[in-house]
């Protein structure tokens, strides 16, 4: 990709990204943000239960690995990793950015964000970031305190 990208070129690419995510791919996920002020840590500084905001629906590109089941003496445990790619412009308009510890709901499953990385620099310029990549892992529904998503 050329290094001589103008702001007008970047806006055109953003428009194409929005059209691709919203009209063609059309996959909605729900992002549940942690409320740090209402989450109470224990004496070790860890939060066993986290309070979350009401979910926000966002379009995303989803790539997930196969589900693997691990057995121990007492129960079966499912493991799955997934990647969610969000358009930075759509996240700015929704005023919601995925961070470590947030929950993403997709296909009646919940994934906890392990890392959130700004990717796809246009022309290798940091001011032209088009997407954010979230690497996640499958989490149990029983440990979550989330509310239904916004309509």
Using the predicted structure, report yes or no on whether residue 151 has a pLDDT greater than 60. no
Closest CA to 104 of 43, 49, 62, 42: 62
CB 19 within 8 A of CB 26: no
* Tens-digit pLDDT profile for residues 39-89: 666 666 556 566 566 788 888 889 988 887 778 777 777 788 999 999 888
Closest CA to 110 of 76, 70, 69, 149: 149
Give the global pTM: 0.75
CB neighbours (10 Å) of residue 126?
7
pLDDT computed for residue 41 by the predictor: 64
CB 32 within 8 A of CB 57: no
* Tens-digit pLDDT profile for residues 92-135: 888 888 988 888 988 888 898 999 888 777 766 667 777 888 99
CB 84 within 8 A of CB 110: no
Q: Is 1 or 130 the better-scoring residue by pLDDT? A: 130
pLDDT computed for residue 1 by the predictor: 47
CB neighbours (10 Å) of residue 112?
19
* Tens-digit pLDDT profile for residues 13-27: 777 777 777 777 778
């Amino acid at each position: 990709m050329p290094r001589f990208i103008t702001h007008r070129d970047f806006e055109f690419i953003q428009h194409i990204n929005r059209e691709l995510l919203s009209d063609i791919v059309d996959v909605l996920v729900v992002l549940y943000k942690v409320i740090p002020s209402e989450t109470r840590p224990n004496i070790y500084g860890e939060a066993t239960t986290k309070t979350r905001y009401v979910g926000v629906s966002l379009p995303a590109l989803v790539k997930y690995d196969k589900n693997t089941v691990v057995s121990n003496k007492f129960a079966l445990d499912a493991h799955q990793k997934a990647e969610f790619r969000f358009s930075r412009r759509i996240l700015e308009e929704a005023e919601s950015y995925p961070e470590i510890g947030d929950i993403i709901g997709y296909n009646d499953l919940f994934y906890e964000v392990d890392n959130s990385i700004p990717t796809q620099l246009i022309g290798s310029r940091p001011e032209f970031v088009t997407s954010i990549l979230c690497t996640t892992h499958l989490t149990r529904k029983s440990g979550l305190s989330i509310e239904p998503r916004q309509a």
